[in-house]
Copies of this chain bind each other. A is one copy, B any other.
């Protein structure tokens, strides 16, 4: 059902996303979907979040710089993919249920990514008291900014340069 939901979202966007189309594609009854997920929005969200978790694994390459490069590369690829665009179409909704879940989702994502910084602190690469969340947010924000706001090409953004510029300030 979640696979089918992602396919429908990717091809139609969130506006035109219907439970009946997902049910037909997955070969189940609409009522089963409503029983399990409650609403069209919940179904769309779970499909997106499951996909995002798979598309954005937390890297463990042995150095903070290369962990950040890997993670930012996954985010860039996700935002450029049709599935990523589907995620955006859900995210851009002003549906209150989505706004609530989005907050929870991002807290969970940042908590997952904090492992990168814990490992880096253990290796002496990152000050134990510094906020990895803030560094990560500063690095991923321009990718979303370009996707959502300025509609500028992600591949022109100097991600590695920004990692080096910001990272240097945490080593000082």
Binding site for B on A (CB under 8 A): 13, 89, 91-92, 94, 99, 102-103, 106, 134, 137-138, 140-142, 144-145, 148-152, 157-158, 161-162, 164-166, 168-170, 172
Q: How many copies does the complex hold?
A: 2
Consensus secondary structure, chain A interface:
helix
Contacting residues, chain B, for A144 (C-beta < 8 A): 141, 144-145, 148-149
| A148 with B150: CB separation less than 8 A | no
Q: Which of A13, A157, A162, A165 has the most CB of B within 10 A?
A: A165
Contacting residues, chain B, for A152 (C-beta < 8 A): 103, 106
Q: How far is the CB of A97 from chain B (nearest CB, A)?
A: 13
Q: CA A102 – CA B151 in complex, angstroms?
A: 8
| B103 with A149: CB separation less than 8 A | no
Q: How far is the CB of A56 from chain B (nearest CB, A)?
A: 14
